[in-house]
Amino acid sequence: MSPSLRLRRYRPADHDRVLELHEEAMRDVGSFVEGVPDPDLEDVRGTYLDGGGEFLVGEADGRIVAMGAFRPAEGYVTDFLDDLPETTAELKRMRVAPDHQRRGYGQRMYEELERRARQRGFSDVVLDTTPKQVGARRLYERNSFEEVLRDRVRVADESFEILFYRKSLD
């Protein structure tokens, strides 16, 4: 694990780089869908920071190269996983710049997000990903997440498989 990654809370000045990093990382695994809005990334403060969650960025070499967030589980994830306790956090937007992967940055980000979720009283964590995101799936499985559901969804005239993972923090 590289000690050169500095984690900190998202600031409004990070907005453009967060959008770039999201697109860059998703394009790298073939999961970026052109033209689909990301309202949570347009309002990080309202969606995560003011909504009972957290949004962190990781800086290395003077720029943001990693990001990750959690919020109380809501929206489509609760439509697919309807048996979640109210104390469930949803892990979101875990991204590492392709040229900074395989350095332990994703693990470091995940550990800090889990620590903060526990501190805030969350008992479970859920997330969704796609089969194409092999590195992400390995990270989650290494951290005791279990795949609990596979389904197909349609977004912007594209249909794709979505995987749901769950982990108890107790």
What digits encode the pLDDT tens for the residues 28-38? 988 887 777 88
What digits encode the pLDDT tens for the residues 82-122? 899 999 999 999 999 999 999 999 999 999 999 999 999 99
Q: What is the pLDDT of residue 1?
A: 45
DSSP states along 76-145: HHHHH-TT--TTEEEEEEEEE-GGG-SSSHHHHHHHHHHHHHHHTT--EEEEEE-TT-HHHHHHHHHTT-
pTM of this prediction exceeds 0.85: yes
What digits encode the pLDDT tens for the residues 115-143? 999 999 999 999 999 998 999 999 999 99
Across the chain, mean pLDDT equals: 93
* Domains of the chain by start residue, with CATH: 6-168 (3.40.630.30)
3-state helix, strand, coil in the chain (%, to 5): 35, 35, 30
| pLDDT average, residue stretch 55-73 | 97
